[in-house]
Structure 1
Amino acid sequence: MKKSNTFNLKFPALAKGLMVASLFSITIIPHSAVHAAVTPGYTNYVIDTFKVPMRRGAGSNFKISRMMPAGAPVKILEANGEGWALVEYKKGSKTYTGWMHTTTLQNMPVARVRLEKQIKKTNKLEEKLNALQHELKTLKERHNETNQELSSVKQEKFELTQALTRLKSISSNAVDLDQQNQEMKQRLSTVEDQNAIMREQIDQSEDAIKRQWFLTGGGVLLFGLLLGRFFRIPAKRKKWGEI
């Protein structure tokens, strides 16, 4: 199975593409959506042109109190319905109030401000993507280490399995040898018992033979004595005058 190409994306290039898409979306905002009607209580922004005048009254004939920078955020305090709005502008700890023509105001930040914000967002996104890329690299390294460790464990398991098999074989042989030894001991004991019985029988036979020889010898001796007694030859008598 082929690996997904998701991990092969170039994160910086992706971030640049997102930034370009964001810039394109900024440039195609409809003019009518930007220059909406001013509403009291809401924040509007000075249009993205040169500096725009803030006047002391609602009309071009009133004196300019200050020049407002492009993109400056102002709070709408009042709208007279004749194209003029009373606005409040804060800069640091100071607050400025004056009248501005509604055509110089829009209800969303100017393109430059949006671009700066978008660039910051894009930079943050790129940082996150770089962090993810680094994390992915770390995870791949850990994955490789884990694979190596797994291979080592598998090899160790294989060796232990072989050792266990040999041990079982040795143990089985040892059991067989012990069983054979016990059988040999039993056979030896049986043979020794049979040998003792045969030795006893031999001793008894030898005793019987000795007694038989003794009785036979005694009988022969007795028979000889009796025979000599009955068949004794008389002694030759001497003549008168012989020496």
Structure 2
Amino acid sequence: MSRLTHLLIISIVCVCILPLPARAEKGYASDQVEVLVRTGPSHKHAIVKVLKSGAELEVLERDRKSGYARVRTAGGAEGWVLTRHLMAEPAARVLLEALSNQFSGDDNRPDNPRAQADLIRHEYETLMQRATMLEKNNNQLEAELSKIKQLAANAVQLDNQNQELRQQTDVLTAKLGKLEQENQTLGKQVEREWFYAGGLVLFAGLFLGLVIPRIQWRKRSRYSDFS
């Protein structure tokens, strides 16, 4: 076996071993909500495009952690959308338009009645599947809306509680200020009473200091007269 043959076999093996590129998954923009395309997988990223209802997309990857999927539009623009806003099947409106277009002219109408019946049955089954999916999406959206309403109600309740606590705090602060003022007033009153009491004690001491010696002197004078 020649060297060229060896190289050819090795090349074929390498090509077979190399992983094939992931095939893009088809998806469709929801026709129930406005689908926003963002620059990254979060609501904090900028909005770059608003998709039309039922727009066909290529789903390049899904980020389960953030709940976003990276998509490519028919025009080639790439961005991130919420995974729950993607549909696996075209919107019912698109299917109805396609069905209407199929039977809008004699050229598109099957000649065989059986073929017509099969086509109508197929479209009916497709529409029923789509209706089931829409009902499921609608139930999911209603559950999310109920959750959002509950969170909003809790937020309002917390806000009311915070306002009530602020009012109670203001009342307690006012009472505390009043008590501090009364305490200061009582303190000043006690100081004045102690000052008056001290003055009285001092006056009494001076008075006794002057009167008692005179009384003793008079007693001595009387004793000296008798002698």
Range of TM-score over shorter length: 0.3 to 0.5
Query: TM-score, normalised to structure 1's length?
Result: 0.44
Query: TM-score, normalised to structure 2's length?
Result: 0.47
